[in-house]
């Protein structure tokens, strides 16, 4: 294994696995496998990049650090030359972490400073300029992320936000330096490291900027960022003759289908609204779940009762609804009950024969993936930017795990069609 990724949630893991498998059109991608947690045994020799999916974004910082260091140890045992710490392109974190503590711990374990921090993903509108994170034309704290139920982001200045999470100073490599090319970026990062800056925010507004960062980091033991940070990395290994590249194909998976959505993002709410116009949907009341009146059997009965019609069960309230529920029951209690509901529902559905499964929301996807015991996942074609088809040979199913903010308006129906695969003559 050449490259290892430690992802702080399951949708983000699929996102960067997709980037690594796809690569740039002129260069190609790597042979990638996504793991649900830290594997118990060694990777297959054919794996060039391994992506470990953790559910560490919203746990206590000390737990996130411990999980990430354990993942690092396994990846080093596989021979990885380079490690990426993957987090969301909206820098989902609190004042306490977990991006900063995990990034510092990984850097300390690898003995490096001047480590790139870049959540930019221009394809979906995430860019970084002068250390400020934008979502399309809006600052992060004006994009809706300030209302996130678990990791509200009130500050678009990610250099300042990261400084609250770490022990040492945080550096900045500005857009002007990035536009000078890989050598200038490498020199700037080296200078930051000599000044004691372990983590360094690096501006990026285009895919070309991300390729520059990839070239600059060709020999870097550690990078951190969104999936875009990996854009230029496969070409480094392929050009050096170290990787053969990705030749995987996808033949499709037919059979019963289900959609479960636990994201409260504006994008997911819009996708639910559009899907409801032509397909059966089941709204889930948080009050009903907390009272024990809505249970997994109710969701299973709904999905099975509408087989073949792309049924969707969802809990996707407005920010005001979410805040009200958290005030009544507690944030952690609500998250736990909803995660458990969706996880148990997904397990019963797959045990009952569902073959195509679409899940929306990072926390929901993590809970479902852990409950299903999926094994190593093969990376299939991209459905939408950041969302690939995932194939679990252990369970004989195909999945799409969607971050809340990703996907076109008609994503749910389109994803199920994509999982079915191309038409056969």
Q: What is the pLDDT of residue 254?
A: 92
Please give the backbone phi and psi of residue 403, each rounded to the nearest 5 degrees, phi first: -60, 145
Mention every residue, 6+ apart, whose C-beta is less than 8 A from residue 58.
98, 150, 151, 335, 363
**Nearest Cα residue to 3 out of 72, 51, 49, 53:** 49
Q: Is the pLDDT of residue 363 over 90?
A: no
Q: Are residues 29 and 123 in the same domain?
A: yes
Q: What is the pLDDT of residue 249?
A: 74
**Nearest Cα residue to 118 out of 222, 239, 238:** 222
Q: Is the pLDDT of residue 406 over 60?
A: yes
Q: Is the pLDDT of residue 331 over 90?
A: no
Q: Are residues 139 and 24 in the same domain?
A: yes
In a domain, 248, yes or no: no
More confident residue, 248 or 382: 382
> Number of structural domains, the chain?
2
**Nearest Cα residue to 398 out of 362, 358, 363:** 358
Neighbouring C-beta atoms of residue 265, cutoff 10 Å: 25
Q: What is the pLDDT of residue 247?
A: 62
Instruction: State pLDDT tens for residues 152-203.
Output: 999 999 999 999 999 999 999 999 999 999 999 999 999 999 999 999 999 9
Instruction: State pLDDT tens for residues 47-72.
Output: 999 999 999 998 999 999 999 999 99
- Residue ending a domain, among 239, 272, 302, is 239
Q: Is the pLDDT of residue 361 over 70?
A: yes
Q: Are residues 213 and 301 in the same domain?
A: no
Q: What is the pLDDT of residue 362?
A: 87
Q: What is the pLDDT of residue 149?
A: 82
Q: Are residues 272 and 138 in the same domain?
A: no
**pLDDT bracket for residue 148 (50, 70, 90):** confident
Q: Are residues 303 and 186 in the same domain?
A: no
Instruction: State pLDDT tens for residues 408-421.
Output: 999 999 999 999 98
- Residue ending a domain, among 239, 274, 300, is 239
Q: What is the pLDDT of residue 358?
A: 98
In a domain, 249, yes or no: no
Greatest mean pLDDT among 7-21, 237-251, 270-284 lies in 270-284
Q: Are residues 224 and 331 in the same domain?
A: no
Q: Are residues 263 and 376 in the same domain?
A: yes
Instruction: State pLDDT tens for residues 130-140.
Output: 999 999 999 99
Q: Are residues 283 and 328 in the same domain?
A: yes
* Enclosing domain of residue 19: 3-239
In a domain, 24, yes or no: yes
- Residue 410 CA, distance from chain mean position: 20
In a domain, 65, yes or no: yes
Q: Are residues 269 and 383 in the same domain?
A: yes
In a domain, 187, yes or no: yes
**pLDDT bracket for residue 424 (50, 70, 90):** low
Q: Are residues 273 and 216 in the same domain?
A: no
**pLDDT bracket for residue 250 (50, 70, 90):** confident
Cα dihedral value 263, 267, 268, 269, nearest 10 = 100
Q: What is the pLDDT of residue 246?
A: 73
Instruction: State pLDDT tens for residues 204-218.
Output: 999 999 999 999 999
Mean pLDDT over the full length of the chain: 94
How many Å is the maximal CA-CA distance in the chain? 63
In a domain, 40, yes or no: yes
Q: Is the pLDDT of residue 119 over 80?
A: yes
How far, CA to CA in Å, does 228 sit from each of 94, 118, 148, 213, 373? 22, 8, 22, 10, 28
**CATH number reported for the structural domain that contains residue 62 in this entry:** 3.40.50.10840
d(Cα 33, Cα 35) in Å, to the nearest integer? 6
**CATH number reported for the structural domain that contains residue 349 in this entry:** 3.40.980.20
Secondary structure, 3-state, 29-52: CCCEEEEECCCCCCCCCCCCEEEE
In a domain, 251, yes or no: no
**Once rounded to an integer, what is the mean pLDDT over residues 314-318?**
87
- Residue 341 CA, distance from chain mean position: 21
- Both structure tokens of 240: 């050096």
Q: Is the pLDDT of residue 425 over 70?
A: no
Contact between 5 and 51 (Cβ < 8 Å): yes
**pLDDT bracket for residue 150 (50, 70, 90):** confident
Q: Where are the beta strands (DSSP E) in 123-240?
A: 126-129, 132-135, 138-139, 170-173, 199-202, 222-225
- 131-135 long-range contacts, Cβ below 8 Å, gap at least 24? 131/157, 131/158, 131/159, 131/160, 131/172, 131/174, 131/201, 131/203, 132/156, 132/157, 132/158, 133/90, 133/91, 133/158, 135/90
Q: What is the pLDDT of residue 157?
A: 98
Q: What is the pLDDT of residue 82?
A: 98
- Residue 188 CA, distance from chain mean position: 28
In a domain, 297, yes or no: yes
Q: What is the pLDDT of residue 312?
A: 98
d(Cα 255, Cα 308) in Å, to the nearest integer? 9
**Once rounded to an integer, what is the mean pLDDT over residues 338-353?**
97
Q: Are residues 87 and 156 in the same domain?
A: yes
Q: What is the pLDDT of residue 231?
A: 95
Instruction: State pLDDT tens for residues 257-314.
Output: 999 999 988 899 999 999 999 999 999 999 999 999 999 999 999 999 999 999 999 9
**Nearest Cα residue to 29 out of 220, 233, 226:** 233
Q: What is the pLDDT of residue 190?
A: 98
- Residue ending a domain, among 239, 270, 293, is 239
Q: Are residues 86 and 196 in the same domain?
A: yes
């Amino acid at each position: 294994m050449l490259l290892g990724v430690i992802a702080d949630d399951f949708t983000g893991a699929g996102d960067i696995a997709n980037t690594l498998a796809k690569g740039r059109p002129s260069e190609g991608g790597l042979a990638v496998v996504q793991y649900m947690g830290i594997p118990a045994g060694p990777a297959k020799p054919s794996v060039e990049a391994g992506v470990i999916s953790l559910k560490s974004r919203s746990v206590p910082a000390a737990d996130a650090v411990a999980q990430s260091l354990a993942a690092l140890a396994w990846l080093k045992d596989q021979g990885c030359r380079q490690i990426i710490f993957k987090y969301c392109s909206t820098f989902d974190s609190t004042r306490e972490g977990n991006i900063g503590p995990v990034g510092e711990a990984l850097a300390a374990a690898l003995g490096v400073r001047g480590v790139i921090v870049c959540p930019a993903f221009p394809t979906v509108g995430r860019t970084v300029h002068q250390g400020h994170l934008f979502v399309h034309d809006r600052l992060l704290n004006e994009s809706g992320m300030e209302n996130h139920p678990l990791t509200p982001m009130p500050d678009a200045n990610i250099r300042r936000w990261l400084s609250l999470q770490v022990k040492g100073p945080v550096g900045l490599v500005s857009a002007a330096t990035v536009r000078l090319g890989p050598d200038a970026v490498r020199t700037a990062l080296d200078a930051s490291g000599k000044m004691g800056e372990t983590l360094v925010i690096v501006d990026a507004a285009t895919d070309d900027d991300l390729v520059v960062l990839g070239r600059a980091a060709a020999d870097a033991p550690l990078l951190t960022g969104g999936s875009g940070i990996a854009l230029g990395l496969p070409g480094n290994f392929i050009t050096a003759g170290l990787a053969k590249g990705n030749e995987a194909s996808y033949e499709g998976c037919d059979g019963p289908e289900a959609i479960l959505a636990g994201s409260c993002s504006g994008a997911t709410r819009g996708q639910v609204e559009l899907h409801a116009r032509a397909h059966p949907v089941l709204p889930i009341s948080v009050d009903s779940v907390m009272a024990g009146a809505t249970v997994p059997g109710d969701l299973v009965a709904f999905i099975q009762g509408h087989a073949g019609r792309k049924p969707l069960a969802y809990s996707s309230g407005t920010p005001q609804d979410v805040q009200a529920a958290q005030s009544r029951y507690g944030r952690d209690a609500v998250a736990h009950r909803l995660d458990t509901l969706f996880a148990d529902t997904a397990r019963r559905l797959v045990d009952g024969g569902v073959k195509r499964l679409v899940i929306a929301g990072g926390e929901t996807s993590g809970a479902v993936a852990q409950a299903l015991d999926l094994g190593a996942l093969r990376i299939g074609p991209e459905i939408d930017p950041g969302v690939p088809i995932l194939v679990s040979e252990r369970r004989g199913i195909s999945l799409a795990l969607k971050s809340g903010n990703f996907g076109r308006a008609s994503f749910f129906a389109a994803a199920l069609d994509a999982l079915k695969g191309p038409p056969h003559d």
